[in-house]
Chains A and B, each alone.
Chain A
Amino acid sequence: MNIFRLAGDMTHLASVLVLLLKIHTIKSCAGVSLKTQELYAIVFATRYLDIFTSFYSIYNTLMKLVFLGSSFSIVLYMKYHKTVHRSYDREQDTFRHWFLVLPCLLLALLIHEKFTFLEVLWTFSLYLEAVAILPQLVLLQRTRNIDNLTGQYVFLLGGYRGLYILNWIYRYFTEPHFVHWITWISGLVQTLLYADFFFYYSQSWKNNKKLQLPA
């Protein structure tokens, strides 16, 4: 564990907490894409199947359980909690997210490090995570009023990926066998998707204005 990875995990955790705070205490999911949340639930469910087969550390297992639990509870909240569901921007959140799943699965079947069940699902989760933010970014662009919590959520999520890139660079130089092209490229693609958002987020922060993305 290095400082970049820990900071990345903590940023990821913070993003989830911000979202849960919004949904649980304010009882609103305005501006939050259910499509993205459903994709994340699939990402974690397919990536963390190894909690049944391998043990790394208590930290690792706990974090996996937190990400699994939070992603599924966010989806359930948005779908079935009356008040939360009412605030959902259903008409705006129209990205055809299921069309992302099949190509990612096919790609994982074609390009992977080892052809085993867990390994292919792990790889699938990496590809799907790379594009899972797209419905959320599209929704942000359509939403005229982005509240602070939603902006912070996306900012923290992008920050987590950025920190993981620093972690991979660090590990590449400090651990002799650490070469994982699939993880790196999908992580890089994912981070690049946030570039535009980061630009407007920093602008709004600098000018102390409300975050608004151009249509």
Chain B
Amino acid sequence: EEDYFDHDEL
């Protein structure tokens, strides 16, 4: 499982 975390949003 890829360590997917999205912080690209403002």
Q: Which residues of A contact B (CB under 8 A)?
A: 5, 9, 12, 50, 54, 56-57, 60, 63-64, 67, 113-114, 119, 122, 164, 167, 177-178, 180, 183
Interface residues on B, range: under 10
Question: In the complex the two chains form, is A60's CB within 8 Å of B6's CB?
Answer: no
Contacts of B5 in A (CB 8 A): 113-114, 119
Question: In the complex the two chains form, is B10's CB within 8 Å of A180's CB?
Answer: no
State in angstroms the CA–CA spacing of A63 and B9 once bound together. 10
Question: In the complex the two chains form, is B6's CB within 8 Å of A178's CB?
Answer: yes
**20 interchain pairs (CB within 8 A)?**
A5-B9, A9-B10, A12-B10, A50-B7, A54-B7, A56-B7, A60-B8, A60-B10, A63-B10, A64-B10, A67-B10, A113-B5, A114-B5, A119-B5, A122-B7, A164-B9, A167-B9, A177-B2, A177-B4, A178-B6
Contacts of A54 in B (CB 8 A): 7
Q: Which residues of B contact A (CB under 8 A)?
A: 2, 4-10
| Interface SS of B by simple majority | loop
B7 to chain A, nearest CB (A): 6
State in angstroms the CA–CA spacing of A122 and B2 once bound together. 20
A65 to chain B, nearest CB (A): 11
State in angstroms the CA–CA spacing of A54 and B9 once bound together. 13
Question: In the complex the two chains form, is A56's CB within 8 Å of B8's CB?
Answer: yes
What residue of chain B has the Cβ atom nearest to residue A113's Cβ? B5
Given contacts A60-B8, A183-B9, 4 further A-B contacts (CB under 8 A): A57-B8, A63-B10, A67-B10, A114-B5
Instruction: Name the residue in B2, B5, B7, B8 with the highest tally of chain A Cβ atoms < 10 Å from its Cβ.
Output: B7
State in angstroms the CA–CA spacing of A163 and B10 once bound together. 12
Contacts of B2 in A (CB 8 A): 177
